[in-house]
Structure 1
Amino acid sequence: MTAIDTAIRAAAADIELMGVTKAYDVRTVVIPPLDVALRPGEFTVVLGPSGCGKSTLLQMIAGLERVSGGKIVIGGREVQDLEPKHRGCAMVFQNYALYPHMTVAENMAYSLKVAGVSKTERAERVADVARMLGLADFLARKPGQLSGGQRQRVAIGRAIIREPGVLLFDEPLSNLDAQLRHDMRVELADLHRRIGATSVFVTHDQVEAMTLADRILILNKGRIEQFDTPKAIYHRPASVFVAKFIGAPPMNVLTVTGDGSALRLADGQVVGNYEGKGSFQLGIRPEDITVNAGGAIKAAIRYREDLGSHEILEADVAGQQLRISTPFGAEIDAAATLSLSFPQARLHLFDGETGRAIPNAFHNADAVRRSVKEYQ
């Protein structure tokens, strides 16, 4: 472990947002009052669709946007009224924001130069960070001579060279192609394990969230839909919004009616047993649906996608769309009517009006724990 690693791990700070709001005017409220606590050394991914307020939230932590109300506490210190340079944060941007006329070494060392750090110490820190990020052979090059992935590593190096208590990432991989995004995810995960910084990473890409995060904070119109581990969010979504947002393809959500003993589709087919009455939304993951001759639920195939390792079927069930993931080698007649089974232990029930999950709708607590344990 280098001196940089040790310094950043020691500096890792907790972040607490208490009643934080952002509004540009009375009608434009981007972030309603929001409360959340991020642990020191944790990698938190803020996930949500475009316009949900995730970048605004990050910029308020960084000090690039002023809060309209509430407190931001970093490492036990209120910072909402401090300038960005006094908050102990470093930020990595989507567009790299490198100085094109400076070399890699000069870009990484610039903030230290401004802070009055000696030339000898700057050189030592640049060398340490360059080795850490695989940039030792590129220190004399300028950004225009680097690939997109290399430029992003320089931007990360420029951030961590300051030994910050908090690292902030604003969609840093969105400008990279698919292979580079994968490679950078691996590098970021490895970097986090090494330095243990408190990291907040904003993205709209669920793959980045699921693979990088210790916990994922899902935003919807500035409000927190769920804040939990990737496994919990995938297997126990707190709302229809989360269920549909996470997963590729996402969870199927069907409108059903409870008659006091069963949940039925519009054509009367029973899809689950439940004692409640009224309108509900029933969720099931595409991979949890079983296609077999004895299945009681009937559906007609509309479209199929062969992805090599598995196949995705799009089917119609009682006028609603259903996606089914079938394993490699499964022989399914496209012209046939499908017979499906929905395993009760894999069903999710949501309130028909609010869209919030109804806990333990199909299982007692022990059954829920057993079901979740199967995924771990």
Structure 2
Amino acid sequence: MTASIHSTAQGIRLKGVTKSYDGAHQTIPPMDLEMRAGEFTVILGPSGCGKSTLLQMLAGLERVTAGTIEIGGREVQDLEPKARGLAMVFQNYALYPHMTVAENIGYSLRVAGMGKTERAAKVQAVAGMLGLGDLLVRKPSQLSGGQRQRVAIGRAIIREPGVLLFDEPLSNLDAQLRHDMRLELGELHRRIGATSVFVTHDQVEAMTLADRILILSKGRIEQFDTPKAIYSRPASTFVARFIGAPPMNILQVSGDGHRLRLADGQVLAASPLRGDFQLGIRPEDILLIKDAPLRARLRYREDLGSHSVLTATMDLAEIRIATPFGAAPPEGSDLALRFPPEKLHLFDTAGLRVETTFAESRVFS
């Protein structure tokens, strides 16, 4: 008997969802959010931003203080976790140590009363998808960290849930295993078709796995968009600094109606704007060109093999510049820089994106 594993994806909608533990401070302020059926959503943010709390409210492990959660068009905020039609993969695997791999994977089906033959076929199908076919008789203590994580994933997907939740499942793995598991999770998502919601603080996981990334800060949504849009058009300085390695450079500038200048008078771009702003440019977009108009002093160079990251001082602010390996001058050198106008990002003094265009200025002082 053969079996296959495939889920009917369910959309998720939050309407005015809040979470407060003491009745005063809101860990999650009112949130409206929609995750499309079949989408891989990554919830990204620093420690304490509310991402795990949000995931646990979806799972039913945390009570919603106010608002509604819909999964597949059905309100679930008052339902027990087992009645929500979802499954969750935890950071610590949470496997039964006395059970074999096969028994761990098939446990929920046994509890549900599925027959032994059908259950065994489902276990074999899941094990085949996850490369566990030769390990079914082993106990968790006989497995590597990556293998235990695969078993935990297998235990979740065997129920063919409409929604799969992942709570930082790769954080206990070393760098190579994290890379390998990212590839496997992306392929698994495409094969089983469930709506996936994945919590992490790792921007590489977010950028490589997500259809859309939900970036949180202090429980609030900073931006919810595709990885490409978030990288190329960050909605705030928080997003600009959080995404990218090294992060985007942010410089304080002022406009006189003709040009944007640093406090030391250096002109960064032609612009009709007036007032104080924050100008952003990514390290890889800064050009080192002889006789370029902008000046900085190189303080430190990090050689990373494929490229170098330069830390320089410009108008008393530190900036970082990514250059090809071996192309950087010695530390202490004066640098001539060009900021291509099409690579600039503008934010107001509150840190929110300002939509505008720039031109090259012929005046540089």
TM interval, short-chain normalised: over 0.9
1:212 aligns with 2:196: no
Secondary structure at 1:98's aligned position in 2? coil
What residue number does 2:4 align with?
A: 4
What residue number does 2:137 align with?
A: 140
Deviation of 1:331 after TM superposition, in Å, equals 4.5
1:94/1:172 contact within 8 Å kept: yes
Give the aligned residue type for 1:38.
M
Q: Which runs of 5+ in 1 are unaligned?
A: 364-376
1:346 aligns with 2:343: yes
Give the aligned residue type for 1:198.
T
What residue number does 1:355 align with?
A: 351
1:58 aligns with 2:43: no
User: Which deviates further from its counterpart, 134-143 or 258-267?
Assistant: 258-267
1:174 aligns with 2:171: yes
Within 5 Å, give how 1:154-169 maps onto structure 2.
154-169=151-166
Secondary structure at 2:98's aligned position in 1? coil
Tell me the alpha carbon deviations over residues 193-251 of structure 1, each in whole angstroms, 9 at most, x when there is no partner: 21121000000000000000000000011110000000000010000000000000000
Tell me the alpha carbon deviations over residues 132-172 of structure 1, each in whole angstroms, 9 at most, x when there is no partner: 00000000000000000000000000000001000000000
Give the aligned residue type for 1:360.
T
1:77 aligns with 2:78: no
What residue number does 1:116 align with?
A: 113
Secondary structure at 2:171's aligned position in 1? coil
User: Which deviates further from its counterpart, 52-61 or 354-363?
Assistant: 354-363
2:342/2:357 contact within 8 Å kept: no
Secondary structure at 1:18's aligned position in 2? strand
In 2, distance between residues paired with 1:361 and 1:172?
A: 41
Pick one of 248, 271, 276 that aligns with 1:274.
271
2:3/2:121 contact within 8 Å kept: no
Secondary structure at 1:314's aligned position in 2? strand
Counterparts in 2 of 1:351 and 1:41: CA distance versus 1, 3 Å: same
User: Which deviates further from its counterpart, 218-227 or 253-262?
Assistant: 253-262
Give the aligned residue type for 1:264.
R
The 4+ residue runs of structure 1 with deviation greater than 4 A are none
In 1, distance between residues paired with 2:198 and 2:161?
A: 15
Tell me the alpha carbon deviations over residues 244-276 of structure 1, each in whole angstroms, 9 at most, x when there is no partner: 000000000111111111111111111112211
Within 5 Å, give how 1:195-210 maps onto structure 2.
195-210=192-207
Deviation of 1:307 after TM superposition, in Å, equals 0.5
Deviation of 1:329 after TM superposition, in Å, equals 3.8
2:299/2:332 contact within 8 Å kept: no
User: Which deviates further from its counterpart, 62-71 or 24-33?
Assistant: 24-33
Secondary structure at 2:123's aligned position in 1? helix
Pick one of 331, 334, 340 that aligns with 1:334.
331
1:4/1:161 contact within 8 Å kept: no
1:13/1:166 contact within 8 Å kept: yes
In 2, distance between residues paired with 1:268 and 1:183?
A: 49
1:4/1:163 contact within 8 Å kept: no
Deviation of 1:361 after TM superposition, in Å, equals 3.8
1:25 aligns with 2:22: yes
Within 5 Å, give how 1:256-295 maps onto structure 2.
256-295=253-292
Q: Which runs of 5+ in 2 are unaligned?
A: 360-365
In 1, distance between residues paired with 2:231 and 2:42?
A: 14
Deviation of 1:28 after TM superposition, in Å, equals 2.5
Give the aligned residue type for 2:100.
T
Tell me the alpha carbon deviations over residues 305-324 of structure 1, each in whole angstroms, 9 at most, x when there is no partner: 00011000000001001000
In 2, distance between residues paired with 1:299 and 1:226?
A: 32
1:190 aligns with 2:187: yes
1:45/1:216 contact within 8 Å kept: yes
1:99 aligns with 2:112: no
In 1, distance between residues paired with 2:352 and 2:271?
A: 17
Give the aligned residue type for 2:284.
E
Number of aligned positions between the proteins: 358
In 1, distance between residues paired with 2:80 and 2:4?
A: 24
TM-score of the pair, normalised by structure 1: 0.93
TM-score of the pair, normalised by structure 2: 0.96
In 2, distance between residues paired with 1:117 and 1:82?
A: 23
2:215/2:239 contact within 8 Å kept: yes
1:349/1:361 contact within 8 Å kept: no
Secondary structure at 2:354's aligned position in 1? coil
2:102/2:123 contact within 8 Å kept: yes
* Structure 1 or 2: more helix by fraction: 1
Deviation of 1:360 after TM superposition, in Å, equals 2.7
Deviation of 1:3 after TM superposition, in Å, equals 4.5
Tell me the alpha carbon deviations over residues 10-53 of structure 1, each in whole angstroms, 9 at most, x when there is no partner: x1100001110000123321100000101111000000000000
1:34/1:223 contact within 8 Å kept: yes
In 2, distance between residues paired with 1:87 and 1:3?
A: 24
1:104/1:139 contact within 8 Å kept: yes
1:252/1:284 contact within 8 Å kept: yes
CA RMSD of aligned residues (A): 1.1
